[in-house]
Chains A and B, each alone.
Chain A
């Protein structure tokens, strides 16, 4: 029956994805980490390999399948470069070298491919990241949809990585800016809403992480991509065994993103960002961090909530709603927006 097949929900980055990943990988593979590095069990944004002197190599890989390939605010190349940098950045790594693997559909315009690769290159240049090599393949027309862009990132962590399990009761959650813009832009494109002035926020968030590291005001971080902040906050809560409470009135969302989410019935907290980070810091450093972020280009950075000792047997994320009510912010379920990244 159809339930025995892979559905788009399995790739939405929410509840179904994590079930499947556990079933297919986490439970199956035996050797899952190197030394005390981050590995498959942790399911963090990057893995690490300790290299001595308190340093580790960080490694991440991501395949991008976004549709459309060119979207308001970016393209699949910019997305791949930014996403790979971000996955390294949120565990505290400085990116040093990338590799790529591109599969293209027969008949895809060369000039579009050049554009995509140029977007990838511009960002690698900007952050002085080397492209060490890669793979390139073509598949017959109609056997895939345009382009699949896989990007591998290698970075260097000096000191302890910023793992998702570092959050402690009393810590504060900071967001670097308005959430959900990438998801909304893709949703609008896929629905054919051409007048929409929703642009993807796709960009590297490394500068924000550097600011936080410089202030020594960062314990953990995540880029809330698939599944939005609903997924990211739940990962913090589950891996760190804390409750998290966030305040709806504090969470920055662009008006047009809010409007689009509401009109299409998609929960804005489950919409992906590709250019924002959630940064966890201790309560005494939070204001300083937000001010520094605001001064350095992250003008809408905001404290959106805090971690608490769990009140139930299962850690949860609570949302204080606009009208003062409280509800649980669930791990997103089902197929939200297909092929968002």
Chain B
């Protein structure tokens, strides 16, 4: 019996559930209501979706084409590999090439350009780079391999528990270390709202992140900007846009949980507890944005023996996050669209990405390139 037994059966039953959230009639009604409300709000409304996966749904289902002229949907910073600084990639490559360390990475990170090379290019130069689906696979492989290895620890609060739990139960073999480059979502939104140069009239908050951190982690947005924790199906997104507009009409600024089938007020309490044991909150470097206070996580002192940066004292002299001409930093902040970048689909394509936003399936440029998001279709 294969472990995949029932895979498609499960997928099929999921498909049936999902159909409710793709219902054409319901979508039509919601779009009509969004148009009604759009006539009762100010001249222009900018709604930012935090998640790359929300951007995928918006583009894949052509939701922008259904929006009234005064409602603009803008993609935000929710692509973890896009905001991981070059230094992390450079560091992993140097460990692999100079020290002969095996590097485990998520597939998303594999082709992201560092200062000079991506991990994929480093592999063709002889680096031992292995793509894994998750930290568990890295643990398994490292244990049977017994060779010195590192795991590139990138992601938001969604991926952190998978690493935290293995560390917490003492399941990480001695020969495996972690390069901790985790990023936290509430602090980056706080930072963006505080900058003053980014227009955000409403926020579609991340669904999977909120599953972990709970509704309560977003309450700082109450009184500041209408916000909705949203699911990832088109009906979810349309409802979330509707709720934001409704709040704007009523002059409310609240945090609403639309994704109640998954997200709870306190989130995943157990995961949060383990995360707080395993990680320390630190100031973190966001690619193209710079240092953002208390927006990252590294391993807590008692686990510093698993921290690659404590284990290998390799120096990265100078790393470059934003190459000349690349607008990724502005795109991640919602200040520019991929089409504002002169390199988009010219010098930067999914086949030959120049900037990090063109690599991951959560990167705005990649999504627009693949699903035609750059065409203004009405």
Chain B, interface residues (CB within 8 Å), range: 35 or more
Query: B342-355 toward A: CB 8 Å interface, digit per residue (1/0)?
Result: 00000001111000
Across the interface, do A256 and B63 meet the contact criterion of CB distance under 8 Å?
A: no
Kindly list chain A residues whose C-beta atoms are within 8 Å of the C-beta of B66. 323-325
Across the interface, do B65 and A330 meet the contact criterion of CB distance under 8 Å?
A: no
Q: Which of B1-26 contact A (CB under 8 A)?
A: 2, 4-9, 11-12, 14-15, 18, 22-24
Say yes or no for B209: interface residue by CB 8 A criterion: no
Binds A, one of B138-146, B323-331, B365-373: B365-373
Across the interface, do A323 and B121 meet the contact criterion of CB distance under 8 Å?
A: no
Given contacts A15-B351, A259-B14, A265-B361, contact A198 B63 (CB under 8 A): no
Across the interface, do B62 and A196 meet the contact criterion of CB distance under 8 Å?
A: no
Kindly list chain B residues whose C-beta atoms are within 8 Å of the C-beta of A319. 62
What's the least CB distance linking A119 to chain B, in Å? 25
Say yes or no for A322: interface residue by CB 8 A criterion: yes
Across the interface, do B351 and A9 meet the contact criterion of CB distance under 8 Å?
A: yes
CA distance A268 to B238 in the complex (A): 23
Given contacts A316-B375, A333-B370, A334-B350, contact A327 B60 (CB under 8 A): yes
Kindly list chain B residues whose C-beta atoms are within 8 Å of the C-beta of A21. none
Across the interface, do B12 and A259 meet the contact criterion of CB distance under 8 Å?
A: yes
Say yes or no for A260: interface residue by CB 8 A criterion: yes
Which single member of B5, B28, B372 contacts A329 (CB below 8 Å)?
Answer: B372
CA distance A34 to B220 in the complex (A): 73
Say yes or no for B71: interface residue by CB 8 A criterion: no
What's the least CB distance linking B28 to chain A, in Å? 6
Kindly list chain A residues whose C-beta atoms are within 8 Å of the C-beta of B316. none
Given contacts A318-B377, A319-B62, contact A192 B4 (CB under 8 A): yes
Across the interface, do A195 and B4 meet the contact criterion of CB distance under 8 Å?
A: yes
Residue on B nearest A5 in the bound complex, by CB: B124
Query: A197-218 toward B: CB 8 Å interface, digit per residue (1/0)?
Result: 1100000000000000000000
Kindly list chain B residues whose C-beta atoms are within 8 Å of the C-beta of A110. none
Say yes or no for A136: interface residue by CB 8 A criterion: no
Q: Which of B208-250 contact A (CB under 8 A)?
A: 234-235, 238
What's the least CB distance linking B357 to chain A, in Å? 15
Residue on B nearest A19 in the bound complex, by CB: B351
CA distance A262 to B7 in the complex (A): 12
Q: Which of A315-341 contact B (CB under 8 A)?
A: 316, 318-330, 333-334
Across the interface, do A322 and B15 meet the contact criterion of CB distance under 8 Å?
A: no
CA distance A330 to B374 in the complex (A): 11
Say yes or no for B88: interface residue by CB 8 A criterion: no
Say yes or no for A144: interface residue by CB 8 A criterion: no
Kindly list chain A residues whose C-beta atoms are within 8 Å of the C-beta of B372. 316, 327-330
Say yes or no for A194: interface residue by CB 8 A criterion: yes
Across the interface, do B11 and A260 meet the contact criterion of CB distance under 8 Å?
A: yes
Which single member of B31, B62, B349 contacts A321 (CB below 8 Å)?
Answer: B62
Kindly list chain B residues whose C-beta atoms are within 8 Å of the C-beta of A288. none
What's the least CB distance linking A257 to chain B, in Å? 10
What's the least CB distance linking A146 to chain B, in Å? 22
Say yes or no for B27: interface residue by CB 8 A criterion: yes
CA distance A260 to B15 in the complex (A): 10
Say yes or no for B61: interface residue by CB 8 A criterion: yes
Say yes or no for A29: interface residue by CB 8 A criterion: no
Say yes or no for A106: interface residue by CB 8 A criterion: no
Which single member of A9, A193, A322 contacts B24 (CB below 8 Å)?
Answer: A322
Kindly list chain B residues whose C-beta atoms are within 8 Å of the C-beta of A192. 2, 4
Across the interface, do B361 and A325 meet the contact criterion of CB distance under 8 Å?
A: no
Say yes or no for A132: interface residue by CB 8 A criterion: no
Across the interface, do B24 and A324 meet the contact criterion of CB distance under 8 Å?
A: yes
CA distance A318 to B378 in the complex (A): 11
Kindly list chain A residues whose C-beta atoms are within 8 Å of the C-beta of B120. 2
Say yes or no for A28: interface residue by CB 8 A criterion: no
Q: Which of A282-341 contact B (CB under 8 A)?
A: 316, 318-330, 333-334
Residue on B nearest A327 in the bound complex, by CB: B62
Q: Could you give 23 example pairs across A and B, Cβ below 8 Å?
A: A1-B121, A3-B352, A191-B4, A194-B4, A196-B7, A197-B8, A256-B8, A256-B11, A258-B15, A316-B375, A320-B62, A321-B60, A321-B234, A322-B234, A323-B238, A324-B31, A327-B59, A327-B371, A327-B375, A328-B377, A330-B369, A333-B351, A333-B369
Closest 9 pairs (CB-CB, A-B): A325-B62, A328-B372, A323-B27, A259-B11, A327-B62, A2-B124, A326-B65, A194-B2, A193-B4
Can you name 12 extra interface pairs (CB under 8 A) apart from A259-B8, A327-B61? Answer: A9-B351, A188-B8, A196-B7, A321-B62, A325-B65, A326-B62, A328-B371, A328-B372, A328-B375, A330-B369, A333-B350, A333-B369
